[in-house]
Amino acid sequence: MGGLLCRFSIISSRFGKEQARYTGLKKSAQVLVHALQSSRASYDKLDESQKMVQFELDLKHLRLLRAPISNELLRMPTNSKYNEEEIRAVARGIAKVQNDLNAINVPAVILIMCTSPEEFTVRASLRLLAMMLHGGNREIQNSFLFSFKATRNEGFFLDLRDRIVRKTQNSPYFFLCLQPF
């Protein structure tokens, strides 16, 4: 599986600062996206032991897709001593990785994976969704909007609503939610 990972190289720039660049991100991510699409298409045909293996693979694939954005976020300065130019440079790096993932149709795959029957797969998909939308990238937002409109599939929203209802039913405050204010 080492061949699926993209290489992360550090390029030194002026003042000894480091600048991250990903090589082979699109190609590696494209393999992961194809694997996730195939996984959801054939999920119902698998027996229980195969579903468990596929479930673990799906989680790993979603984490690998999320990793480049997470790595860029870790570069975000947390100290007040950094200037705005450094913060903007990191934000541009995050947007570039997001746009690279968007180019291979990751938003559509996220929406497909969010309808998975496995709770942890849905959580991993929502984490990737949050990473893709981090920073308010307009291109990503438009891509998600296009995916919602193009499929006309309400399964994403219905599954999300059902999961919220199931989680709140187990809450001791569930009956307070049902009463009008």
pLDDT tens sequence across 9-37: 433 343 334 344 566 777 888 889 988 98
CA atoms of 58 and 121, how far apart (whole Å): 7
Contact 135, 91 (CB under 8 A): yes
Report the candidate in 115, 118, 68, 112 with the shortest Cα–Cα distance to residue 93: 68
The pLDDT tens digits of the residues spanning 130-160 come to 999 998 889 999 988 888 888 776 777 787 7
Report the pLDDT value the prediction gives residue 11, as an integer from 0 to 100: 39
Distance of CA 67 to the CA centre of its chain: 9
The pLDDT tens digits of the residues spanning 88-138 come to 888 888 998 999 999 998 988 888 888 888 888 888 998 999 999 998 889
Strand partners, 11: 19
Report the candidate in 95, 78, 97 with the shortest Cα–Cα distance to residue 135: 95
Domain boundaries, the chain: 2-77+84-171
Q: Global pTM? A: 0.75
CATH class of segment(s) 2-77+84-171: mainly alpha
